[in-house]
Amino acid sequence: MRRTPAEMKLMHSAMIKFDSPFGDLHAWSKKQFVIQNSESWPFSIANIRMGRDSTPQWNQGYRATSCPCISASFQHENGGDIVTLLFGQTPEQSLVEWNSLSEDGQIKQQEEITKYLKEPDTLDKFKQDCRDVGRTAVAIDDGLRFVQRGFFRLAEKYGKDFPLVGEVYVTKWNGFMARWKGDSGILWSSRNLASETAAALTDYGENLDLIADIKSTEDLKDAQAELKQYVQKHPIHIATKVADGFKDLANDIHDFSKDFTHYLEETKQNLTEDAEQFKSDINKLQTEINELNIKIHWATVALSVTMCMFLFAAAPAGFLAKYTIERNAKWDQLKKAQTNLTQTISKQKALAALEVDFEKLKPNIEDICQKLSIFAGIWAFATEQSTEINIALEAGTEVIASKKFKIKLALLVAQIKPLREGMREYATQIR
């Protein structure tokens, strides 16, 4: 679907990751984006360039090439298209942006994000976004099955000439399917983790309430104990394992595509070399057969002359037999070389068709890799924050009185409900 104009302003709801004295902070922030090249839809992340405000500022922006686009929707307003995206910003990008702000600027931005989170429609939007992420997971499942069926067909059509298609590559893709599906697969693991995270966020919220209500050193110790217990109960390595599962599968599928492309190129090169060798053999054998035909001709003439003159004919007859045997052997070699050349040309044609068929599957493979990257880092939020807040609380009750800490705490509290409801929405999409 084509979209105009070529540069469209995007009101962009982006999940960003800050780096602060209290650790990483996931938050929601409104950003302005511009599509640099929107000739086709869906566009890739490489088509998006960030601007500092609603006006395109290419020299100040940077490409968001490594950020996953989680969901997208269009709406038409005042004769133009407004695109709303859920977009994961990398820690490196956020760190640069966050550190460029003064402390007052950081506080102001956190206050704005907290206000945005409390807007009535924010929860509904976020729930819908997470619902869309779940649907994306289902789409990955469909994509994996589509490519699997495609490789089955490739093996059936070309397996005789290229047995590795079935023996190696179909087997590899079946392995990807096994890692994705099943009770121990990463898809179901992500569903379980989302459900557990939704439940855990309730406990996390209660811990934040304890922190907000700290009035004494004893209260502080109780809050620290609860945070420590929360981290022990919800170890981050569980979330990391699921996230790594998505990343590893995406990387392996990407490598699979590169490896299969290399296999096709290598096979093409081998077939080209074989064809050239067979052609050379055919030319050489045809020359040798022509030379033997001449020798046989003159041996036959010599034999005829000696027989007519009643002379001894053993020598011409011996040469004639020798040349005939050699020529017949060359004929057999020529036929074999011609057969090999015919088979090689047939394989070259089959390989060309195989390449065309594989090219049809590549967009699906690339789409799977892009969608898998969405899940890479969304699970460990509460555990990370509990750990970092506990470290911050080591400074004592005075840190709680600081405006910076209070603003951060308010932001963390504001995020709980959207995150909790979002995880529930994600889990309900996976069946």
The pLDDT tens digits for 351-364 are: 888 888 888 877 77
- On whether the CB atoms of residues 30 and 13 are closer than 8 A, the answer is yes
Dihedrals phi, psi of 370, to nearest 5 degrees? -65, -45
- Per-residue model confidence as pLDDT tens digits over 248-273: 888 898 899 899 889 889 988 988 88
Which residues fall within 8 angstroms of residue 324, CB to CB, at 6 or more apart? 296
In the chain, where the domains are located: 9-100, 101-431
**First-residue to last-residue Cα distance in the chain:** 31
Mean pLDDT, all residues of the chain: 70
**If you average pLDDT over each of 32-36, 229-233, 314-318, which comes out highest?**
229-233
322 or 90, greater pLDDT:
322
Eight-state DSSP code of residue 43: P
- Per-residue model confidence as pLDDT tens digits over 96-127: 455 566 778 878 877 887 887 777 787 788 77
- On whether the CB atoms of residues 94 and 18 are closer than 8 A, the answer is yes
- On whether the CB atoms of residues 426 and 197 are closer than 8 A, the answer is no
What pLDDT is attached to residue 58?
24
What pLDDT is attached to residue 332?
84
What pLDDT is attached to residue 9?
28
Q: Where are the alpha helices (DSSP H) in 213-313?
A: 217-233, 236-308
Dihedrals phi, psi of 22, to nearest 5 degrees? -95, 10
CA distance 264 to 282: 27
- Per-residue model confidence as pLDDT tens digits over 183-241: 788 888 888 888 888 888 888 888 888 888 888 888 888 888 888 888 888 777 777 78
Residue with tokens 């409390």: 118
Mean predicted confidence (pLDDT) in 292-304: 67
- Per-residue model confidence as pLDDT tens digits over 159-187: 888 899 999 999 999 999 999 887 788 88
Cα dihedral 115/116/120/125 (nearest 10): -160
What pLDDT is attached to residue 121?
81
Q: Does residue 286 surpass a pLDDT of 80? A: yes
CB neighbour burial string for 172-209, b if at least 16 within 10 angstroms, e if fewer: ebeebeebbeeeebbbebbbebbbbbbebbebbbebbe
Q: Does residue 247 surpass a pLDDT of 50? A: yes
User: In this prediction, what percent of the chain has a pLDDT beyond 70?
Assistant: 67
What pLDDT is attached to residue 262?
92
Is residue 288 very low, low, confident or very high in pLDDT (cuts 50, 70, 90)? confident
Rg over CA atoms, the chain: 35
Q: Does residue 84 surpass a pLDDT of 80? A: no
User: pTM surpassing 0.85?
Assistant: no
39 or 282, greater pLDDT:
282
CA 365 to chain centroid, in Å, comes to: 7
Which residues fall within 8 angstroms of residue 17, CB to CB, at 6 or more apart? 24, 25, 26, 89, 90, 91, 94, 377
Q: Does residue 375 surpass a pLDDT of 80? A: no
Q: In what order do the strands lie in the sheet with 9-20?
A: 48-50, 23-35, 9-20, 80-88, 69-77
What pLDDT is attached to residue 382?
65
**Would residue 182 be called left, alpha or beta, if left means φ above 0 and alpha means ψ between -120 and 50 degrees?**
left
What pLDDT is attached to residue 101?
67
Burial of 15 (0-12, 13-18, 19+ CB in 10 A): buried
What pLDDT is attached to residue 140?
82
Is residue 378 very low, low, confident or very high in pLDDT (cuts 50, 70, 90)? low
Which residues fall within 8 angstroms of residue 377, CB to CB, at 6 or more apart? 17, 88, 243
**If you average pLDDT over each of 30-39, 173-182, 329-338, 396-405, which comes out highest?**
173-182
What pLDDT is attached to residue 365?
73
Is residue 27 very low, low, confident or very high in pLDDT (cuts 50, 70, 90)? very low
Burial of 86 (0-12, 13-18, 19+ CB in 10 A): buried
